[in-house]
Copies of this chain bind each other. A is one copy, B any other.
């Protein structure tokens, strides 16, 4: 490890002393991404519980909100929300039970299901958005728009590297 260690994590310094080839910078990116995701998840769950939603449910609803005609398919949702297909089934079952989404057969491909927001789903989302957005906006207010944009851009470059390099182990 020839470059400087990220300063916020004393563990990394010790690791690099013990294993000099440890890619500390990349490990720090990964670790911090996980911290962000976890912290936001907990925080969002607390806020959304007042509306009877969990964070993963909310994410699916938002993906539908951001789709043409509030409409999508389980596979597209799985991809967009970084969830496995079996979990999409579980989550959409829950949202169906809550009357927030509806399932219908696709007219163009009989394997496919179409999922759309119900009016109640749109209503609940728009009811929850003031608190959700102000919470997130509060966080964002400490960082300039340019810095946020740069952060996203750098994140996306890291993600792009994952696409270039399929896992060295057996395919899942």
Which residue of chain B is the closest to A40 with respect to CB atoms? B30
Residues of B within 8 A of A80 (CB): 9, 11
Number of this chain's copies in the complex? 2
Per-residue interface assignment for chain A, residues 32 to 65, with 1 indicating a CB less than 8 Å from any chain B CB and 0 otherwise: 1111111110110011011000000000001101
* A148 neighbours in B (Cβ, 8 Å): 25-26, 28-29
Are A67 and B14 interface neighbours, CB within 8 A?
A: yes
CA distance A29 to B28 in the complex (A): 16
What are 21 A-B residue pairs whose CB atoms fall within 8 Å in the complex? A3-B145, A3-B149, A6-B149, A8-B156, A14-B65, A15-B65, A15-B66, A22-B133, A23-B133, A23-B140, A29-B148, A33-B37, A36-B37, A36-B159, A39-B162, A131-B168, A134-B168, A139-B162, A139-B165, A142-B164, A143-B157
